Amino acid sequence: MTVLIDPSDEAQIEFVLEQLLADSPIGMPTETVYGLAARALSPVALARIFELKARPTFDPLIVHVENLEQALSRGLIEKPSSLQERLAHKFWPGPLTILFQKTALVPDLCTASMPFVALRSPEHPVFQKIMKALGEPLAAPSANRFKSISPTDAQAVVQELGPYGLVAVVEGGTAQRGIESTVVKVLSEAKLEIVRQGALSREELASFLGSSVEIVVRQSGSGVEISHDAPGQSEVHYAPQKPLYLLQENELSSFVQTQASSGAALLEVFPQKEELKWDGLRVCLSENRSWAEAASRLFSELRRLDQNVEIKCIVAIACEEESLGAAIMDRLCRAAQKR
Ligand code: TXA
Ligand code: MG
């Protein structure tokens, strides 16, 4: 049985620290999604994360740090470039993960033997509190089984990993962002690559960086499962158990005619511009067209539809790929891939 930890109870936090010190992974809240955290510099702890998630070891883990200074003083990374430093100082703590040249201290298991380690400082006060008390960086992938939907509340973590022996999850409310961090790689002082779209939009990065830094987005889900340093971007990911069809708005009426729509649930990001006839269950992620609200509800609504016994399949309508719509579409496309 997975224990639910109350973070305001010091004795329970003490138990969490003991477990982490004993290399046992713990479910912990972040502002993006819940993570499965364990000591980043312990190969045994890392191996347990991979085992609990049934995650292949070619998919590297994000290491969570208090701040850039801790990463440097603990000797995790080589000297950062000025752009890496500016990004960390501007967006940490927050939903931006930055790749850095790693040192030999970081186990190869953490980075899938690649020379870069992905670092971020999470904004959630409970995560920060536990990390500070431990005084060590924590590796933490999303706390779901491999390819499954990322959990955005403690209950979802228990559902995902409880059956496989997760010891405890720390309660931290609903993840405010609801979608994973944006992962970036600094290619030069004038070029930044978005390796994974996420909770920090390209537009927000661009408005900070100005026109002197070009931002390129790595085409993911392109069929190349693992390229040298674009691991973990497998085509099928974030997937519900039920079939998910991703349609353009104008494809919907012919879909409704050709498929028996009974048992299909409609998932729309924003309300459709045209009046739409739909007899079944219909979920709109944000009635007042807020990207932040839509992103924060995406995974929890997918999970709810997946668990609703009356629903046979999910029909999602594509949204604009602007702002957080880019990350939402990335997740929907992967969820829709045939397995
Ligand atoms: O918001 C988040 O980032 C959450 C919370 C818990 O922090 N974590 C998360 O971790 O989403 P995970 O393991 O589900 O996704 C990590 C992804 C990898 O699949 C890969 O795409 C990228 O981050 N990544 C990690 N380390 C990398 C590395 N060394 N080089 C390139 N990409 C890396
Ligand atoms: Mg994940």
The full DSSP string for 143-179 is: SS-TTSPPP-SHHHHHHHHGGGT--EEE---S-SS-S
DSSP code for 80: P
Confidence grade of residue 226 (pLDDT, cut at 50, 70, 90): very low
pLDDT of residue 255 exceeding 80 = no
Strand 264-268 and strand 313-317: the pairing is parallel
pLDDT of residue 120 exceeding 70 = yes
The values of phi and psi at residue 43, to 5°, are -60, -30
Partners of 142 in the β-ladder? 35
pLDDT of residue 149 exceeding 50 = yes
Structure tokens at 309: 């016994």
| Residue of 146, 183, 197 best suited for mutating to test ligand 1, as the one with most atoms within 8 Å of CB | 183
Distance 169 CA to ligand 2 centre (A): 17
List the one residue out of 228, 233, 277, 227 whose CA is nearest residue 252.
277
Residues 156 and 306: beta-carbon distance below 8 Å: no
| Residue of 106, 180, 218 best suited for mutating to test ligand 1, as the one with most atoms within 8 Å of CB | 180
Confidence grade of residue 261 (pLDDT, cut at 50, 70, 90): low
240 vs 81, more confident: 81
66 vs 252, more confident: 66
Rounded (10°) angle between helices 325-336 and 291-307: 20
96 vs 337, more confident: 96
Structure tokens at 242: 């039920």
Give the torsion through C-alpha atoms of 199, 206, 212, 115, to 10 deg.
Answer: 10
Ligand nearest to the CA of 145: 2
Residues 71 and 177: beta-carbon distance below 8 Å: no
pLDDT per residue as tens digits for the range 270-322: 998 778 788 889 999 999 999 999 999 999 999 999 999 999 999 999 999 99
pLDDT at 232: 56
Q: What is the mean pLDDT of residues 124-131?
A: 98
Partners of 169 in the β-ladder? 4, 27
List the one residue out of 48, 327, 45 whose CA is nearest residue 204.
327
Distance 280 CA to ligand 2 centre (A): 30
List the one residue out of 59, 56, 2 whose CA is nearest residue 25.
2
Q: What is the mean pLDDT of residues 156-165?
A: 98
pLDDT at 31: 98
Distance separating alpha carbons of residues 31 and 152, to the nearest angstrom:
9
pLDDT at 258: 63
pLDDT at 272: 87
Residues ≥6 apart with Cβ < 8 Å to 205: 182, 184, 192, 194, 215
